[in-house]
Structure 1
């Protein structure tokens, strides 16, 4: 007697297989209470930092300014200023250059106001707004950006890259080893090709990481708008876009390497032995950009190194030390490195995934 048997389910296409794995990674992470709480805390910290910075900038102390006998009457009519009487323009310039006063009002006929404002780097906004007419401003020692703002922006990019790359890179590594340790990977690769499994893991965690980046950017924009920091928002908009693009490909590069490194071990306790070099690559840009954010040479070198370019190039864009073509060249180098790393990582992952027991040596993983 012939009985009808149900036809076997067709194997999933590569694209659908990749998305199935990615969806599994995303769902598992979003169901994790620890991940949701940690993300919420991170977003609250970012919002608080923006709001506190905006409120601090609003509650500035009165401007200390230097005046001569001819311009003392002008200063007396201005609120929120602390005038210091000096003998002449030369004495006023000395106080400005020594940072003892933020500006000086001295006699001058060139602008038609009867006086000019002397500043060292930038004209105090509060002082300029208090003047009924805008006088001529002479900048004695121009500066590209505020050193403190430059430092804070460098820290911001460095912290976001460090936290996102290390968090989701570690997640990929733990997921790979857990599947090996429980033998679930044997069931997975019986239905899904090994490389599609790797691509799905990288894709899923990339979506999560980029989601955090977009959320942080949205909170920063809202915070800057609410606190009235429109000038800073206009200056940081383009660098944030550059950072998002660089982070996308930089994370794919690191994520594929994290998965490959984790595939070389079979126990959670051994993950650190293979992922430690990658962790150092993630931490290095953070510390370098903090210590050398005011060093153009070091930043330029970092902006062309694939592992540090996602942090260094946006900082250079923000301070105006890089042209658009430099960003494009750095991105091209990152893309080429990313493609090469994916090829190598796929080979290591494929050759090591089913090998249990002792740690697989790198040479053996590459040879197969």
Structure 2
């Protein structure tokens, strides 16, 4: 009597494109957040941002203590209206002079009893009256500035350009390099053969981009949160309110721009099979990532260059938010630039996916771009 053949367990079903993409994205995220280097570098970056915000506030004099000035009832309103001055109420003029003599206050503002001073106020000090107090009480001619914002915006222009450019460049290079390194390591160890037997090549590429985009966006959001907390603590509310809209646009442009660059990083890395060969294929991508940053920083006062850069897909994530902060862009310009960036991103992803899918299983040295497109 023959024994029946043993039944084999059913083969697991191959996941669809969307579940496979989410599975790869989860793998990419967990692989990064579990490494000490990622956690330490993120913590150092956030501390550096917080230190920069507090340091800029300190250097601009925002954290300087107010000058204490003794006042009486007749002069209290005058000193309260002066920035950087803290009025200390005294019962009368003699009590105010005693506070000055005991060095509890820097000076005293009292009514002029002689009637000879046109301001009707006398400043009493021990050895030297604070110049900021005297200047605030002096009668000065009215001044009309034809370009009042230019002087104040010069420093902010450089600061905002540098901040937006540095965040975008560092995120793109850090996580783009991670995508490239993981792609080459999977080819070099032949792990990609196992991965492609489970998930399609396009799902593998999409999962890598999705996972690293989530990490980059999360890190950028953490930087923004730390910067906001630092600005609130140091009293830079005016700068914070001015940056609200541009920061929101920057996050939107950042996400689309990063996906575009991540596709280029992944496609370029798929052309080689060894870590040692990544230099020639990744150098152009690195230059493509760094060049817009230097253009924005060094040409941020050139309106024509900034306007052109705000429509170039690789520099638009930085140039357009800077122009919005400076009020140099019309209401429709960010919408047009974003539509152009999205269209470019779709085209680059389609081209990158074609290169990626046709190069992953080619292990015989470097694959030329022409070969990958014509395969």
CA displacement, residues 134-182 of structure 1 (integer Å, 9 cap, x when unaligned): xxxx434322552111111110001101110000010000000000000
Q: Does 1:171 align with 2:205?
A: no
Alignment of 1:49-198 (within 5 A): 49-57=52-60, 58-59=62-63, 80-81=131-132, 105-106=139-140, 117-118=142-143, 138-144=144-150, 145-198=152-205
List per-residue Cα deviations over 1:90-125 (Å, max 9, x = no partner).
xxxxxxxxxxxx999435xxxxxxxxx42xxxxxxx
Secondary structure of the 1:293 match is: coil
Alignment match, 1:292: 299
Q: Deviations over 1:317-361 (max 9, x none)?
A: 111101221000000010000000000000000111111122111
Rg comparison, structure with higher value? 2
Q: Structure 1's 240 and 71: CA in aligned 2 closer, same or farther, altered over 3 A? A: farther
Please tell me whether residue 10 in structure 1 is matched to residue 13 in structure 2. Answer: yes
CA–CA separation in structure 2 for the residues paired with 1:350 and 1:324: 40
Query: Deviation at 1:56?
Result: 2.7
Partner of 1:345: 352
Using structure 2 for the length normalisation, give the TM-score.
Answer: 0.79
Could you tell me how far apart the structure 2 residues matched to 1:55 and 1:212 are?
26
Point out where structure 2 has 5 or more consecutive residues left out of the alignment: 68-82, 84-115
State the partner residue of 2:254: 247
Partner Cα distance (2:262, 2:137) in 1: 51
Look up the SS of the partner of 1:191 in the other structure.
Answer: coil
Match in the other structure for 2:312: 305
Q: Distance in 1 between matches of 2:323 and 2:139?
A: 34
Uncovered stretches (5+) of structure 1, i.e. residues with no partner: 64-68, 85-101, 108-116, 119-137
Moved runs in structure 1, 4+ residues, more than 4 A? 59-63, 69-80, 102-105
Alignment RMSD, CA only?
2.5
CA contact (8 A) 2:270 2:360 kept: yes
Q: If the length of structure 1 is used for normalisation, what is the TM-score?
A: 0.81
Equivalent residues, number: 318
Separation in 2, partners of 1:351, 1:79 = 74
**Mapped partners of 1:149, 1:71: distance in 2:** 40
**Structure 2 counterpart SS, 1:358:** coil
Deviation larger for 152-161 or 54-63? 54-63
Alpha-carbon distance in 2 for matches of 1:139, 1:149: 19
